[in-house]
């Protein structure tokens, strides 16, 4: 969350004495261990940026909190916000789990995270460009040859192939974890088929309905522009010599309705106003990708791939 009015909010809130809060719902059975606690600096003592939310939870009757959670779950179900669990015999379709209590990240802390992630995706692009061209990082022994060449995702046919603006990774899903000392660390980078952003966007809408006052007072940074930013990014990847450079045709490639993230595929395609296609909907002629439509073939200059090539069921 943002910082614009956080200090003003916390300054007018009187936090109850720490020992008393441990015996009041919803914190009656709250447990502390060696992991970093996002809300509390000490048992019963909320961190400064959590005080407004902490006070709101103390004032909220437990039954109302349960009803709000049920309403959120029902909203997700009615919107079809689900995901598929592979190998589950009881039923593959599940409503996406959501937690009404938001994780609040102060402005300065978020700026540090944002700056680090921006630097990281730039480094990842430079790394990929190097291993598919000069290979200096391999020649210098910084990264062992066998680590790269034995990777099943390394594509030898990509060696020497230059991409528009040198961008190999235009979208990156980075998983972060909070260390016991409070610092963030990267767990992994999802570069091939990052997914999950649609659930975040949907969850934000639900939270704004449940805690409208808190969102207003905290000055939360908006995320509604994500779909527009994604479409702009994809359009910018069109080759400079393309005849459709100024208005490229973008489609979203999906394996189909049985994929675990199909909701996200339909959601993003709808939000960006682009076609959702499967592999069978596309064909290549004279190095140009065409999309089959009821009116004939249509040029698709950029395909945002949501299909995981590692899955046999994916239609690519």
Residue 250 phi/psi, 5° resolution? -115, 135
Which residues 6+ apart lie within 8 Å of 76 measured at CB?
Answer: 82, 95, 96, 98, 202, 206
Q: Is residue 251 part of a domain?
A: yes
Kindly report whether the global pTM for this prediction surpasses the value 0.95. Answer: no
Write the pLDDT tens digit of every residue in 28-70. 888 888 899 999 998 888 999 999 999 888 888 888 888 888 8
What is the predicted pLDDT for the residue at 146?
Answer: 94
Evaluate whether residue 312 is within a structural domain.
yes
Q: Is residue 122 part of a domain?
A: no
pLDDT, tens digit (0-9, with 9 covering 90-100), for 118-155: 999 999 999 999 999 999 999 999 999 999 999 998 99
Whole domain around residue 314: which residue ranges? 236-316
What's the CATH code of the domain at 303? 3.40.50.11290
The reply to whether 149 falls in a domain is: no
For the stretch 157-190, pLDDT in tens is 999 998 888 899 989 999 999 999 999 999 999 9
Q: Is residue 305 part of a domain?
A: yes
Judged against a pLDDT cut of 50, whether residue 6 lies above it is answered with no
In a domain, 136, yes or no: no
Q: Count of domains in the chain?
A: 1
Question: Each residue of 253-303: pLDDT tens digit?
Answer: 999 888 878 888 999 999 999 999 999 998 888 878 888 887 777 765 555
Rounded distance, CA 217 to CA 12, Å? 12
Q: Is the peptide bond before 147 cis (omega within 30 degrees of 0)?
A: no
Q: Is the pLDDT of residue 89 over 60?
A: no
pLDDT reported for residue 86: 62
Whether residue 273 lies inside any domain: the answer is: yes
In-domain check, residue 24: no
């Amino acid at each position: 969350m943002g910082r614009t009015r956080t200090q003003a909010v916390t300054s007018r809130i009187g936090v109850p004495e720490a020992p008393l809060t441990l015996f009041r719902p919803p914190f009656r059975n709250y447990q502390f261990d060696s992991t970093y606690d996002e809300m509390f600096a000490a048992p019963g003592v909320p961190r400064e940026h959590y005080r407004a939310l902490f006070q709101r939870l103390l004032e909220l009757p437990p039954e109302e909190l349960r009803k709000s959670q049920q309403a959120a779950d029902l909203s997700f179900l009615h919107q079809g916000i689900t995901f598929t669990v592979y190998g589950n015999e009881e039923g593959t379709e599940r409503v996406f789990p959501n937690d009404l209590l938001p994780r609040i990240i102060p402005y300065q802390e978020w700026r540090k995270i944002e700056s680090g992630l921006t630097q990281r995706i730039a480094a990842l692009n430079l790394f990929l460009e190097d291993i598919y061209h000069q290979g200096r990082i391999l020649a210098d022994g910084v990264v062992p040859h066998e680590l790269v060449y034995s990777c099943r995702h390394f594509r030898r046919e990509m060696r020497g192939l230059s991409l528009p603006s040198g961008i190999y990774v235009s979208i990156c899903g980075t998983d972060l974890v909070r260390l016991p000392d409070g610092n963030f660390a990267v767990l992994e980078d999802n570069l091939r088929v990052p997914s999950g952003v649609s659930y975040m966007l949907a969850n934000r809408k639900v939270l704004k309905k449940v805690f409208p006052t808190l969102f207003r007072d905290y000055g939360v940074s908006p995320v509604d522009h994500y779909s527009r930013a994604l479409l702009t990014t994809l359009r910018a990847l069109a080759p400079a010599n393309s005849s459709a450079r100024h208005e490229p045709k973008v489609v979203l490639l999906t394996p189909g309705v049985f994929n675990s993230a199909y909701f996200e595929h339909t959601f993003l395609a709808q939000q960006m106003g682009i076609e959702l296609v499967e592999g069978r909907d596309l064909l290549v002629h004279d190095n140009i990708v065409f999309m089959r439509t009821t009116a004939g073939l249509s040029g698709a200059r950029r395909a945002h791939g949501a299909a995981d090539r590692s899955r046999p069921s994916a239609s690519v």
